[in-house]
Structure 1
């Protein structure tokens, strides 16, 4: 999981970098299964990538796009739960 806050007014640029640079790089990693991108009202972006093996790290975004350095945590997937609706 990767999380960062965009510099003021730079959320569209940061999302463009995530979609155009970071996601293709992750998907080009042989072990990558899936990449999900989320944003929030406070100009925060979260990327969750699933890997079948050793996870890859996202590249460093251009410094001018960030309010603060990115945070990253590797997690191990344990299970998935889905809602069952009548």
Structure 2
């Protein structure tokens, strides 16, 4: 999960920037969200961990500092089996 906050009024630029970042290899699924406060969130799903471990999964980089109100935040989660609803 990748989340960044744009400087006020530049959320559209940050969204365009985040959407244009390719990941190689590409994830199984990728979704992009916006939130109040000029925030952009990108969540990626991976079916398998590439050879070499979790450190090999590509990351969306940080944009130029003049676009950001604060540093990018990144989190990695692992699915817990047996907790699905529905």
TM range (shorter): 0.7 to 0.9
Structure 1: 5+ residue stretches without partners:
none
* TM-score calculated relative to the size of structure 1: 0.77
Q: Which residue of 1 aligns with 2:40?
A: 45
Q: Which residue of 1 aligns with 2:4?
A: 4
Q: Indicate the structure with greater helix content.
A: 1
Q: Which residue of 1 aligns with 2:25?
A: 29
Is the counterpart of residue 70 in structure 1 residue 44 in structure 2? no
Number of equivalences: 78
TM-superposed CA distance for 1:82, in Å, is: 6.0
Q: Which residue of 2 aligns with 1:13?
A: 13
CA-based RMSD of the aligned residues comes to 1.8
Greater mean deviation of Cα atoms: 49-58 or 61-70: 49-58
In structure 2, distance between residues paired with 1:10 and 1:56:
25
